[in-house]
Structure 1
Amino acid sequence: MAFGALLLVAGGALTAHAYSNAQQELANSEYSNVMWRDEPVDSFFPTTIGGRGGYNGGLYDREQAIWNRVGISPDTDCDKGLTSHTLKAAKENGCQAVLRATYVDSTANMVATVAVVVLPKGSPESGPRTSIYEAYLDHLQDDGVVAPYAVPGTVAAKWKYRNGAELAPVGGEHMPYVVAASVGSVDGHVAGDLPGEWGDSDGNNVDRGSWQANAGNLVTLFRAHMEHLQTGDS
């Protein structure tokens, strides 16, 4: 595992309960429950995500990447990774850890923090994943969902203002996770604050919606990545 690079970017070692070096030899259903701590960190949070060939195309191809990783948070406490109503719902449903990594898009205009919330096993229809997703839907307009992880010494060093967020459960009976992302602007632009004629009519709503869509696309990408890890196809 590439701990050297991680230490330089994140500023410290990951807590022991979050990750370990060796991936265990387990059936897919069993491995799903432990991959958050057994998968090598550079595999769990790949250096690049996405590609021009579609949202699953070019998943690990630097030349086609939509998102490039700039740092991984060493802090996996639930209190540090989530905000407001999402945090409350996660804690009420047995949140074990929140793993976060920050990515910048290929144009270096957008910055995003992806979070994987680790939960107890439960029914896909009524268990912890569903409860947190419902809390997210109830507070779409007033919860930033993921706490930004600003990475010192990178273009994401001042990452603060969240312009869009998304959260969704990871599919599969044995995948006790939800994936969330908050997206913002590298230059600090606040969504829905367009000047003059650009903000007139429906311009500000379009601006907010575009950021929300980018957060949704990133969550879709990362859920697909986790499903690949579970099946061993990644």
Structure 2
Amino acid sequence: PFAPRPAAFGPWRRPDRSTFDSPYGGAAPDRPAGRRTRGRVAAAAASLVLGLGLLGGAAAGSWLTGDSGSRPADGDSYARAGSAWHSVPVDELFPRTLRGAGPGGADRIWTRIAVAPDSSCGGAFDPLLEKALAPVGCKRLLRATYTDATSTGVTTVGLLVTKAGSGAMRKLSERFQAEGLGDRADLMPRPYAAKGTAAAGFGDAQRASWRIRILPDAPAVVYTVSGFADGRKVTDPQPAGEATRGGATTAPAQSGLGHDARGIADEIERAFRRALSKTEAPAMTEVPR
């Protein structure tokens, strides 16, 4: 049910400037003064509308690609974010390969080894994390698992599409930050252990590092959980924020599993926002002349 298929949405389109240009071009010597005035007023109004449209499009584009903290001025983009997921090809949402930074800034490459069928959220989180996420609901859960270049580490990444409005998402994001819920070892995501892959032995006891990102400007939660591919148990898992600090000497830190959790979460959030940027903005209305 989660097979690749073409996205139904087209990219953002800027309005064609010619649509708004005055038809008069310049004042003809034999044109009545009233027509010249009306033409200039219409052109000025058109320029104003065009400028506002381009500014609005730029802000929406920045929000969707994650380039700034801008948020959409209305609920259209937010609403599209909640429904666009089912039309996004798998390779766009979960690219086959990802690149990021590992310990010491070294390049790190991750390869996708499994994609789970889209599903409900049952069993995907520790009970306390499931309870913490309950206020925003679960419309759909999309997951994939990646391995590093040496196949010694595996990471499950999930995109939880919520049922909540923007106010509820902002409230949940603020709560996670204020109470440090994303750093608690009793509120961890669970891995997707795909049979026949390097992640076959990736269970709850193998979890080493994780990251949870509540998107305040979209109905989505992006999370990751990483561990060792050889099935070894981890007695002291560490959130990605701590495992990627300079000088950290824990197993999740020195193995790079904290960097895996952080880097893959960041890359999938960017992929999600890029996919949303292909949803079509409402067409602008031509200024009456």
TM-score, length basis structure 2 = 0.57
SS in 2 for 1:183: strand
Larger radius of gyration: 2
The letter for the 2-side match of 1:32 is A
In the alignment, which residue of structure 2 is the partner of 1:98? 141
In the alignment, which residue of structure 2 is the partner of 1:33? 82
Greater RCO, CA 8 A, separation 6+:
2
In the alignment, which residue of structure 2 is the partner of 1:121? 165
Does the 8 Å contact 1:192/1:208 carry over to 2? no
In the alignment, which residue of structure 1 is the partner of 2:196? 153
**CA spacing shift, 1:135–1:142, aligned 2, 3 Å:** farther
In the alignment, which residue of structure 2 is the partner of 1:112? 155
Cα distance in 1 for partners of 2:178, 2:233 equals: 24
Cα distance in 1 for partners of 2:268, 2:179 equals: 18
In the alignment, which residue of structure 2 is the partner of 1:169? 214
**CA spacing shift, 1:20–1:155, aligned 2, 3 Å:** closer
Residues 22-59 of structure 1 show CA distances to partners (whole Å, capped at 9, x for unaligned) of 4233667253222221111222111111157xxxxxxx
Deviation at 1:65, TM superposition (A): 6.7
Q: Does 1:223 align with 2:269?
A: yes
In the alignment, which residue of structure 1 is the partner of 2:20? none
Unpaired stretches in structure 1, ≥5 consecutive residues:
1-12, 53-63, 194-202
Q: Does 1:21 align with 2:67?
A: no
**CA spacing shift, 1:47–1:183, aligned 2, 3 Å:** same
Does the 8 Å contact 2:100/2:263 carry over to 1? no
Name which of structure 1's ranges 206-215 and 66-75 shifts more when overlaid on structure 2: 206-215
Deviation at 1:116, TM superposition (A): 0.7
Cα distance in 2 for partners of 1:180, 1:219 equals: 6
Cα distance in 1 for partners of 2:179, 2:7 equals: 32
Q: Does 1:212 align with 2:258?
A: yes
**CA spacing shift, 1:124–1:81, aligned 2, 3 Å:** same
Cα distance in 1 for partners of 2:86, 2:173 equals: 19
SS in 2 for 1:66: strand
Aligned residue pair count = 194
Residues 149-187 of structure 1 show CA distances to partners (whole Å, capped at 9, x for unaligned) of 11111111111110111111236x3x2111000000001
Name which of structure 1's ranges 34-43 and 139-148 shifts more when overlaid on structure 2: 139-148
The letter for the 2-side match of 1:222 is I
Does the 8 Å contact 2:169/2:219 carry over to 1? no
Does the 8 Å contact 2:128/2:186 carry over to 1? yes
Pairwise CA RMSD of aligned residues? 3.2
TM-score, length basis structure 1 = 0.69
Deviation at 1:192, TM superposition (A): 5.4
Name which of structure 1's ranges 208-217 and 162-171 shifts more when overlaid on structure 2: 208-217
Cα distance in 2 for partners of 1:187, 1:40 equals: 31
SS in 2 for 1:184: strand
**CA spacing shift, 1:50–1:144, aligned 2, 3 Å:** farther
Cα distance in 1 for partners of 2:229, 2:165 equals: 37
Does the 8 Å contact 1:144/1:162 carry over to 2? no
Runs of 4+ in 1 over 6 A off after TM superposition: none
